[in-house]
Structure 1
Amino acid sequence: MPGWSCLVTGAGGFLGQRIIHMLVQEKDLEEIRVLDKVFRPETRKEFFNLKTNTKVSVLEGDILDSQYLRRACQGISVVIHTAAVIDVSGVIPRQTMLDVNLKGTKNLLEACVQASVPVFIFTSTIDVAGPNSYKDIVLDGHEEDQHESTWSDPYPYSKKMAEKAVLAANGCTLRNGGTLHTCALRPMCIYGERSPFLYNTVIRALKNKGIIDAISKFSRANPVYVDNVAWAHILAARGLRDPKKSPSIQGQFYYISDDTPHQSYDDLRYTLSKEWGLRLDSSWSLPLPLLYWLAFLLETVSFLLRPVYNYRPPFNRHLVTVLNSMFAFSYKKAQQDLGYEPCVTWEEAKQKTSEWIGTLVEQHKETMNSKTQ
């Protein structure tokens, strides 16, 4: 395969940064364009200091700016689209999420057509598959099962509709007469160093005498380590660029998991942080059906108050369902079509993530000591 170039959106994010670090090791990759709305200074510095012969171009721009996207896509061979607004608790306005996650994806697809980019890889999410009820049990799900979220909440809805747009665009004619090839990857809940989900968990616990909120004791899931998700994106890019592999991948979606043991999200957070003295809240909690209907009540109150007061419930039915369902998926199809095998074992992932959590604990101690002096 000849020299190629890649644009990665959401490049300053948790997953985007890992994809960049793997991409620079790819043979014949001549240029990476890293795109995000705003880069933190340390992230920008990290990209500039990458030890690689590949040209790294740092682009700051809005995914809603169609003209900017078209310029960013000029001369590009592969687009990896990870940029998204992730929010399952109702903090971010619905329209913002629809604009970025759905309209932004459509803008990028159109930019690829106009700039004749032949390969488009979309970072989707397990949320587009469900779960739709905490009573549903899926412990070895497959792509053929056709699971689909029925939630109208902005995150699962916007990602589901964006994924549909990406897969429907497969086979589109490009401006130069070529053909657009697309696929989508659906990672499980992603963990690892710098995970915003874990960072918030640890900071809250440290402010609460080391006690981790027990919010998902009824769940059984298979979380996936961030490097393994990044690796799946590299393999998808290779596959769609390879004339032999590409036909079986085009227009397909893939669940991306690894060999992390099936467990509750609470157990995962405890396992990764127990070495540093953090522990799960052992106090009594509401039964799951009661918690669900309490969420419904709080959503109703929020709806009724909306004309006069913007009340945001601490949790909603979607969040209760996602965090307390038995919902796990196999990576067998990605293994068959992409040649995907997790590049980091559970033991390695656990050690690396735990060590990072240890740095957060030490930083917290130093901060507290400086305040008392």
Structure 2
Amino acid sequence: MPGWNCLVTGAGGFVGQRIIKMLVQEKELQEVRALDKVFRRKASKDLFFVFTELQTKAKVTLLEGDILDAQYLRRACQGISVVIHTAAVIDVLGVVPKQTILDVNLKGTQNLLEACVQASVTAFIFCSSVDVAGPNSYKTIVLNGHEEERHENTWPDPYPYSKKMAEKAVLAANGSILKNGGTLHTCALRPMYIYGERSPFISNIIIMALKNKGILSATSKFSIANPVYVDNVAWAHILAARGLQDPKKSPNIQGQFYYVSDDTPHQSYDDFYYTLSKEWGFHLDSSWSLPLPMLYWLAFLLETVSFLLSPVYRYRPLFNRHLVTLANSTFTFTYKKAQRDLGYEPLISWEEAKQKTSEWIGTLVWQHRETLDTKSQ
């Protein structure tokens, strides 16, 4: 891999930033291009400092661009050896318009694949999602699932559908002939639910709990999940980038997808959030809650009301059947295939990941208290 260059899309995001920080430690890397539309926002000026102050011999170039701009993508890919594609719209509540999700997640991926062909990029790693595999029903148990079982999400919701179709496009593009006569090699990684410092989802949960006297809403007590720490997800992408460029490993990786988990204990999402935050005085809501089947059919009723009102009013339910299923299923996967083909082993242990995430949650608590003190003055 002498003198290779890498483009990372979604570089300003939760996973993208971690990938950049690990990439620049690669000895033979000459340049990493960090592409994200978010760089245009004034609130993200700190990202410039995060990337420009990295201790690295590699050149770090920040690109403010849109994944839907095909011509821009083609220019961004010129001279690039590897593309790591993490840019996506994540939405399971129906907040973002359906067409926006399809455009970014599916069309954006197709645009990037075409740009790689035109710019003769030889390796493409797609950050997919476990949501591509399901769960389709909270009644179905998947414990330590693996790639050979061929699970596939059947929900019509735009997020899982767009990620599923984007992954299919990426894997189908493996073996495409490049403009210079070379060959494009692709693979996809399916991380479990990703946690860690600066997780936007955990941040929202903690802020909501702070507004509710430290009570964590118990909405996922029927689940068994195996969340994965963000640095371990980033590490898997680095190994995939190495592997697709390695003549010995590449044939086994090309056109393949891999589940990415780590040694975080299997537990319900409710217990998981409590474990991370209990040091700061948070506790689970102990009040009575609806039985799961009733919650599911209530979600169906709310979706029906939303559909009936749609011609005259946009009503967005607080939850839907997909979210209820996602948050209350037994749905875990092993990383053995990634271990075998990519040489993947989690970089960060559960104890270290738990400590780092908990300490970050502590900063959210202190920020909240400072905000309240300022308002009271």
TM-score class, shorter-chain normalisation, is: over 0.9
Q: Distance in 1 between matches of 2:26 and 2:272?
A: 32
Letter in 2 for 1:140: N
Q: Distance in 2 between matches of 1:166 and 1:199?
A: 31
- What is the aligned partner in structure 1 of residue 361 from structure 2? 357
Residue in structure 2 matching 1:199, options 194, 203, 226:
203
Q: Tell me the secondary structure at the aligned position of residue 38 of structure 1.
A: helix
1:1-373 to 2 correspondences below 5 Å: 1-39=1-39, 40-373=44-377
Q: Distance in 2 between matches of 1:49 and 1:146?
A: 43
Q: Distance in 1 between matches of 2:131 and 2:50?
A: 31
Q: Distance in 1 between matches of 2:98 and 2:305?
A: 18
Letter in 2 for 1:32: V
Please state how far the C-alpha of 1:371 moved relative to its aligned partner.
1.1
Please state how far the C-alpha of 1:45 moved relative to its aligned partner.
1.6
Q: Tell me the secondary structure at the aligned position of residue 139 of structure 1.
A: strand
Q: Tell me the secondary structure at the aligned position of residue 8 of structure 1.
A: strand
Q: Distance in 2 between matches of 1:140 and 1:17?
A: 29
Please state how far the C-alpha of 1:44 moved relative to its aligned partner.
1.6
Please state how far the C-alpha of 1:61 moved relative to its aligned partner.
0.6
Letter in 2 for 1:252: Q
Q: Tell me the secondary structure at the aligned position of residue 182 of structure 2.
A: coil
Structure 2: gaps spanning 5 or more residues = none
Q: Distance in 1 between matches of 2:63 and 2:208?
A: 34
Deviations 1:196-246 (A, max 9, x none): 110000100001100111110000000000000000000000000000100
Q: Distance in 2 between matches of 1:187 and 1:338?
A: 14
Identity %: 79
Which is worse superposed, 35-44 or 191-200? 35-44
Structure 1 vs Structure 2 CA RMSD:
0.5
Structure 1: gaps spanning 5 or more residues = none
Please state how far the C-alpha of 1:50 moved relative to its aligned partner.
0.9
Letter in 2 for 1:139: L
Q: Distance in 1 between matches of 2:214 and 2:187?
A: 42
Q: Distance in 2 between matches of 1:363 and 1:74?
A: 43
Please list every run of at least 4 consecutive aligned residues from structure 1 whose deviation after the TM superposition is greater than 3 angstroms.
none
Q: Distance in 1 between matches of 2:307 and 2:376?
A: 44
Q: Distance in 2 between matches of 1:200 and 1:251?
A: 36
Please state how far the C-alpha of 1:292 moved relative to its aligned partner.
0.3
Q: Distance in 2 between matches of 1:177 and 1:281?
A: 60
Letter in 1 for 2:211: K
Q: Distance in 1 between matches of 2:49 and 2:328?
A: 39
Q: Distance in 1 between matches of 2:68 and 2:336?
A: 35
